[in-house]
Amino acid sequence: MTAPLVQSNTGVTLLGGGDFAHDDLDMALGLAPLLVAADGGADGALAAGRMPGAVIGDFDSISPAARTAIPEDRQHRVPEQDTTDFGKCLRLVSAPFLIGLGFAGLRLDHTLSVMTALAAHPHQRCVILGPEDVVFLCPPRLSLPLEPGLRLSLFPMGPARGRSTGLRWPIEGLDFAPAGRIGTSNETTGPVELQIEGPMLLLLPRASLSLALRALVPGLVLAG
């Protein structure tokens, strides 16, 4: 097992090279105060007036100016090309939870690779913050104290099954698969309980970020 390059007792904000709002970065850092940039995300961090605590990636997109500005001992070049920079961060960062920003809403191939990496690292509690949604890999059991009428989508990343309470369309007895049944645009009827077998992504409106983190990390206390 590869030793982590970054270890934190607090949440970590992962910043990718895609578009993001500076207000979203401020919000993420309020919840997960250690900033780790994935390769070219370092440029975005500096442009937002934030110095990353670490940069991880193959360094094919970070600018020379960013490399000069960031202390060398914070730069962790991982030259292998078998994984994405986001995947490298998931593998090499150890923290109670992660918030990913700048990984959704730009190039579709990059977004799909992020979803694949989430499924490949089930040990991580990582929530991706997008323009409209938050998305994370659902653990085997999850309790979400949601209000009625919220959109909740389930997207399988492989064969998956489950049980649910609190959904307008229950999932028990259904076989999910990427090229088969998916669970887009379900609706909550109140607090949700899920039991999931197999890799399943869960999407909620982005206002549910803090709630999702508390559900993924029992006992977590967030200032936000």
CA distance 213 to 11: 10
* Domains recognised in the chain with CATH numbers: 9-131 (3.40.50.10240), 141-200 (no CATH)
Half-sphere exposure of 211 (CA within 13 A, CB side): 15
The pTM (predicted TM-score) of the whole model is 0.95
pLDDT tens digit sequence for 126-183? 999 999 999 999 999 999 999 999 999 999 999 999 999 999 999 999 999 999 999 9
Q: Which of 127, 141, 154 is nearest to 211 (CA)?
A: 127
User: CA distances (Å), 139 to each of 70, 79, 143, 212, in order?
Assistant: 36, 31, 10, 12
pLDDT tens digit sequence for 18-32? 999 999 999 999 999
What pLDDT is stored for residue 208 in this prediction?
95
DSSP 185-209: EEEEEEEEEEEEES-EEEEEEGGGH
pLDDT tens digit sequence for 94-138? 999 999 999 986 678 888 999 999 999 999 999 999 999 999 999
CA distance 160 to 74: 39
Q: Which of 153, 162, 112, 157 is nearest to 134 (CA)?
A: 153
What pLDDT is stored for residue 2 in this prediction?
77
- Sequence-distant (≥ 6) Cβ neighbours of residue 109 within 8 angstroms: none
Burial of 73 (C-beta count, 10 Å sphere; 0-12/13-18/19+):
exposed
Q: Which of 206, 203, 168, 171 is nearest to 187 (CA)?
A: 168
- Start-to-end Cα distance in the chain: 34
The proportion of the chain whose per-residue pLDDT surpasses 90, expressed as a percent, equals: 89
Q: Which of 171, 218, 219 is nearest to 192 (CA)?
A: 171
